[in-house]
Amino acid sequence: QQPFSWKELGVDVRGRSSTLTVNYRTSHQIRIAADRLLPRVVRDVDGNADERDRTVSVFNGPVPVVRLFETATAETEAVAEAIRQAMADGILPGEIGVFVRSRAELPRARAAAEAAGLPPRELSEQQRDAGEAVSVGTMHDAKGLEFKAVAVIACDDGVLPSAARMEAVADETELDEVYETERHLLYVACTRARDRLLVSGVRPASEFLSDLAAP
């Protein structure tokens, strides 16, 4: 955890009086990248507005990495190397999470952990402590959790957003809702990372990744 100043985080507090939301869970770099997935102003079910540019993080970290691969095997090898590097830097296996869109992609998450020489452990309500294993699960499983290092993988075209959900829509309004919820799922998965974030997919990759990687 590195020291910070409001100026370094792009917040000019001179002569201003406004309400800021402080994020203690996710690094500035991860939060900024993840925020690109959602509108600047997000409203909850009660119509209350959450202005995302009024949120600040209190520590810095590495810039999130977005990578695309030609094959799932190449992706597995790269994610395994990222896991090994995180461990070499002092992050414990139980502080690492690998997340995918749905259970259909879980074999890819398990393969990445195993390629790194670690046992994978699926997340569940009854089994939260990964110990010496790498936690693997769906984006839904990841809600409410926190890891020092996270890999969100298998973000392929047709996987995210879910092709099955897209094909089931009845009208444009419903299509917009599907896009919104699928984007939010990726946002949730990305913001489970405290310090390090890797997002990957096999070409053709999810259209959401171009937003995540935008400067």
Cα–Cα dist 92/86, whole Å: 8
Cα–Cα dist 45/70, whole Å: 40
Q: Place 58 in a pLDDT band, splitting at 50, 70 and 90.
A: confident
For the chain, count helices (H), then strands (E): 6, 10
Q: Give me the pLDDT at residue 88, please.
A: 98
Q: Are 196 and 61 in contact (CB under 8 A)?
A: yes
Q: Which helix (H) or strand (E) holds 207?
A: none
Fold designation for 61-206: Rossmann fold (3.40.50)
Over the stretch 128-164, which tens digit does the pLDDT of each residue have? 555 789 999 999 999 999 999 999 999 999 999 999 9
7-16, 86-95, 163-172, range with the lowest pLDDT: 7-16
The residue-averaged pLDDT of 68-73 equals: 98
Q: Give me the pLDDT at residue 144, please.
A: 93
Amino acid making up residue 112: A
Average per-residue pLDDT for the chain: 87
pLDDT at 13 over 90: no
Over the stretch 71-126, which tens digit does the pLDDT of each residue have? 999 999 999 999 999 999 999 999 999 999 999 999 999 999 999 999 999 987 45
Q: Report which of residues 166 and 8 the model is more confident about.
A: 166
Highest mean pLDDT among 9-18, 107-116, 205-214: 107-116
Token reading at 190: 């990305």
pLDDT at 29 over 90: yes
Q: Give me the pLDDT at residue 132, please.
A: 86
Q: Give me the pLDDT at residue 189, please.
A: 98
Share of the chain above pLDDT 90, in %: 67
Tell me the H-state helices in 16-162: 28-35, 72-88, 106-115
**Range 102-139 burial, b when 16+ CB lie within 10 A, else e:** eeebbebbbbbbebbebebbbbeeeeeebeebbbbbbb
Q: Are 125 and 164 in contact (CB under 8 A)?
A: no
16-30, 38-52, 61-75, 130-144, range with the lowest pLDDT: 38-52
Amino acid making up residue 71: T
Tell me the DSSP string of 145-203. --EEEEEE---BTTTTTTHHHHHT--SHHHHHHHHHHHHHHHHHHHTTEEEEEEEEEES
Q: Which helix (H) or strand (E) holds 213?
A: helix 208-213
Q: Give me the pLDDT at residue 45, please.
A: 46
